[in-house]
Amino acid sequence: EAQVTQNPRYLITVTGKKLTVTCSQNMNHEYMSWYRQDPGLGLRQIYYSMNVEVTDKGDVPEGYKVSRKEKRNFPLILESPSPNQTSLYFCASAGGGRGTDTQYFGPGTRLTVL
Partner 1 sequence: QQQVKQSPQSLIVQKGGISIINCAYENTAFDYFPWYQQFPGKGPALLIAIRPDVSEKKEGRFTISFNKSAKQFSLHIMDSQPGDSATYFCAASPSYNTDKLIFGTGTRLQVFP
Positions in the binding site for partner 1 (CB under 8 A): 4, 31, 33, 35, 40-45, 48, 50, 56, 58-59, 90, 92, 98-100, 102-108
| Omega within 30 of 0 (cis) for the link into 8 | yes
Q: Which is nearer to partner 1, 17 or 98 (CB)?
A: 98
Residue 75 CB, shortest distance to partner 1, in Å, is 17
In terms of CB distance, is 65 or 104 closer to partner 1? 104
What is the Cα–Cα distance from 18 to 37, expressed in whole angstroms?
21
Q: Compute the Cα dihedral for 66, 1, 100, 31 and give only its sign.
A: positive
Between 2 and 14, name the residue whose CB sits nearer to partner 1. Answer: 2
